[in-house]
Amino acid sequence: MKNPEIIVIGSGIGGLCCAGLLAKAEKKVLILEAHSKPGGAAHSFKKNGYKFESGPSLWSGIGSWPTTNPLGQVLKALNQKVEIIKYQDWGVQIPEGDYTIGVGDKVFIEQIRSISGRDAIKEWENFIKVIKPIGVAANAIPLLAINSNKETIFQLIKRRKKLLKNLKSFKYLGGAFGKLVDDHLQDPFLRNWVDLLCFLISGLTKEETNAAAMATLLDDWFKPNAYLEYPKGGSESVVNALLRGIYSYGGELKLNSKVNQIIVKNNKAIGIELENGEKILSNHIVCNADIWNTIELLPKDVAKIWSTDRKNIPKCKSFLHIHLGFKAEGLKNIPLHSIWVDNWSKGITTDRNVVVLSIPSTLDPTMAPANKHILHGYTPANEPWEKWENLKIGSEEYIKTKEERCSIFWKPIKKIIPDIEERIEIKMLGTPLTHQRFLNTKNGTYGPALSAEDELFPGNNCPIKNLLLCGSSTFPGIGIPPVAASGARTAIKILGPRFQRNLINELGI
């Protein structure tokens, strides 16, 4: 593309949602992606007919309309559909035993009964009653409708009845979830379970996770007939749907195009320089890289105080990964997801204490060759970078440490597939160094470790004119729905209040 009006650095879900709306508004948008695959944390890769996933496995709110999920809203705005497979159940292997849990009101209640008894059910039902209005309040105004502009005032006035009705719950939205849990849940299993869910969505404990995010999630997951959505074909299908939308409006994506520097003149971003020295100028730059990588793209002398402050934002820990391709003959009732917790008393953030396993080919046979399965396992944001920073990929010590640390996966995998070792055709282990390399996140982090107790995630502004940010380092935070919202809000910031109003009217949200 010649003379793009806007360059988006990075094709994570945030960057793609931003680029999609910019392209829809007839802006000439060029996305520059360092990796050979689009999608960032949500990219997929193929090997011997297996389709492996690098990140998200839990999706919802993208396959049907209306939806409160900002990603579903952006897909709709781009006229794109993602085929989904509905499911409800997960396997859990926790210190109390092995159970099927999942979403919806029935199965979980049955499991609370068998784990903790009747009183705990009452506690849970009361808790959900307390949480529900907070979830409703969080959904009373869509994230796409709020931005720091005059249209937001109009949107607030338009929704005043709904907002006033839920006024009492608004005080909870900006804070942490922990206090609500402490006030309403005493049962140890329920407290641990909520702590685990908080950790899985934010990389932080319940004391630090945002209450609005958890209230919407619990309200959504534990309502009658709730279901989750697996995108048929995996994360790649979501990324491809966003790309189809972008291309349909004339936007472009360039892979293997690592940006080395954002060119700044008189405190104004005017273009970028690629690793190969090529310079591309544009009116606006949006950076979807994490905040630590973004700062490294800026000339050292610009916005010094801002960049030092942001650089010092604490990071969530990293990941260990295991990818397996294996023979499926004779395997029955394999859970799509399994979550394993070794010991609640160690604390949910302790390294190698929690493992998530995902075997999407149980639900979607297109993910693996016939009669084969794929498995992606990871330790969610609990692997310390410090254990890896001085190791060299390929060195003897690295290989030994990798085998040792990743041995944590075998116990939960063997519980589901006892003879897994005889079935394996492909095995790949990943460490924080691999995560950093392929997901392009600093130190392989999940994102900023910002406690909701102290502050919200920073917005998409930066002191350099014509440079905006989006993605998991910006408001509303980490995870697919928040980064989609962040990308959309950044596009709206560039396009202005009229685009915002038209979009909201068009979507009817």
Ligand X SMILES: Cc1cc2nc3c(=O)[nH]c(=O)nc-3n(C[C@H](O)[C@H](O)[C@H](O)COP(=O)(O)OP(=O)(O)OC[C@H]3O[C@@H](n4cnc5c(N)ncnc54)[C@H](O)[C@@H]3O)c2cc1C
Binding site for ligand X (CB under 6 A): 9-15, 32-35, 40-42, 55-58, 258-259, 288-290, 293, 297, 319, 378, 440-441, 471-472, 478-480, 483
Collect all residues with Cβ–Cβ distance below 8 Å to 47 and sequence separation of at least 6. 325, 426
Give the phi and the psi of residue 32 in degrees, each rounded to 5: -115, 120
For the chain, the distance separating the N- and C-terminal CA atoms, rounded to the nearest angstrom, is 34
Say if residue 453 is exposed, middle or buried (CB neighbours under 10 Å; 0-12, 13-18, 19+): middle
| Share in percent of the chain as helix, strand, coil (round to 5) | 45, 20, 40
CB of 430 to ligand X, least distance (A): 9
Cβ atoms of 5 and 252 closer than 8 Å: no
Angle, to 10 degrees, between the axis of helix 480-495 and the axis of helix 497-507? Answer: 130
Q: Indicate the residue among 185 and 478 with the shorter CB distance to ligand X.
A: 478
Q: Indicate the residue among 102 and 133 with the shorter CB distance to ligand X.
A: 102
Q: Indicate the residue among 14 and 231 with the shorter CB distance to ligand X.
A: 14
CB of 40 to ligand X, least distance (A): 2
Amino acid letter, 441: T
Q: Indicate the residue among 58 and 295 with the shorter CB distance to ligand X.
A: 58
Collect all residues with Cβ–Cβ distance below 8 Å to 99 and sequence separation of at least 6. 91, 92, 111, 114, 115
CB of 125 to ligand X, least distance (A): 26
Cβ atoms of 326 and 375 closer than 8 Å: yes
Q: Indicate the residue among 12 and 335 with the shorter CB distance to ligand X.
A: 12
Quote the Cα angle for 43-47-48, to 5°: 150
CB of 484 to ligand X, least distance (A): 8
Q: Indicate the residue among 145 and 285 with the shorter CB distance to ligand X.
A: 285
Per DSSP (E only), the strands in 66-169 are 84-87, 91-94, 97-100
CB of 494 to ligand X, least distance (A): 17
CB of 47 to ligand X, least distance (A): 18
CA quadruple 12, 205, 451, 482: dihedral sign = positive
CA quadruple 320, 450, 57, 218: dihedral sign = positive
Q: Indicate the residue among 9 and 198 with the shorter CB distance to ligand X.
A: 9
Radius of gyration for the alpha carbons in the chain, expressed in angstroms and rounded: 22
CB of 42 to ligand X, least distance (A): 5
Q: Indicate the residue among 185 and 262 with the shorter CB distance to ligand X.
A: 262
Kindly report the number of other CB atoms within 10 A of residue 494's CB atom.
20
d(CA 285, CA 414): 48
Q: Indicate the residue among 90 and 378 with the shorter CB distance to ligand X.
A: 378
CB of 293 to ligand X, least distance (A): 5
Cβ atoms of 229 and 235 closer than 8 Å: no
Which H or E run contains 13? helix 13-24
Q: What is the DSSP letter of 87?
A: E
CB of 337 to ligand X, least distance (A): 9
Q: Indicate the residue among 369 and 412 with the shorter CB distance to ligand X.
A: 412
CB of 480 to ligand X, least distance (A): 3
CB of 339 to ligand X, least distance (A): 11
The token pair that represents 229 in the structure block: 């959505």
- Let me know how long the chain is: 509
SS (H, E, C) 36-83: CCCEHHHCEEEECCEEEECCCCCCCCCCCCCCCCHHHHHHHHCCCCCC
SS (H, E, C) 342-402: CCHHHCCCCCCCEEEEECHHHCCHHHCCCCEEEEEEECCCCECHHHCCCCCCCCHHHHHHH
Q: Indicate the residue among 42 and 246 with the shorter CB distance to ligand X.
A: 42
Q: Indicate the residue among 34 and 270 with the shorter CB distance to ligand X.
A: 34
Q: Indicate the residue among 62 and 509 with the shorter CB distance to ligand X.
A: 62
